[in-house]
């Protein structure tokens, strides 16, 4: 029973780590996008809205392909990344 609980604990820790990576990745991207993207002039907004459906569909298709291939980012990130307090790069996006 103890062995099984340890196994479940390790899996939950892995899920927590993966979720943390996902949330931080999204937060950094949104912060970057919002700080670097200017608002379009009024005439260009109508064109952008017309193209947004196609772009969203392409995004969803690319996301589906990426999910079908399996996780990649989490396998590239080391398990021994120091906690935020010890990481000199933490807070670089804030």
Place of tokens 């996780």: 71
Query: Residue 14 corresponds to which tokens in the numbers above?
Result: 């892995």
Residue 12 lies in a domain: yes
Residue 58 lies in a domain: yes
pTM score > 0.95 for this model? Answer: no
Residue 86 lies in a domain: no
CB 28 within 8 A of CB 93: yes
Residue 85 lies in a domain: no
CB 77 within 8 A of CB 24: no
Count of structural domains within the chain = 1
What b/e readout covers 1-39, taking b as 16+ CB neighbours within 10 angstroms?
A: eeeeeeeeeeeeeeeeeeeebeeeeeeeeeeeeeeeeee
Distance CA 77, CA 9 (A): 20
Residue 22 lies in a domain: yes
Structural domain boundaries enclosing 57? 2-38+45-76
Residue 34 lies in a domain: yes
Interval 3-61: pLDDT, tens? 899 999 999 998 998 898 889 999 999 999 889 988 889 889 888 888 988 889 998 89
Residue 71 lies in a domain: yes
């Amino acid at each position: 029973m103890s062995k099984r609980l340890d196994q479940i604990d390790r899996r939950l820790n892995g899920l927590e780590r993966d979720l943390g990576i996902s949330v931080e990745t999204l937060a950094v991207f949104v912060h970057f996008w919002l700080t670097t993207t200017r608002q379009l002039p009024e005439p260009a907004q109508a064109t952008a809205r017309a193209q947004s459906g196609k772009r969203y569909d392409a995004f969803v298709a690319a996301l589906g392909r990426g999910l079908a291939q399996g996780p990649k980012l989490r396998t590239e990130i080391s398990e021994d990344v120091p906690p935020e307090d010890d990481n000199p790069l933490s807070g670089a996006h804030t």
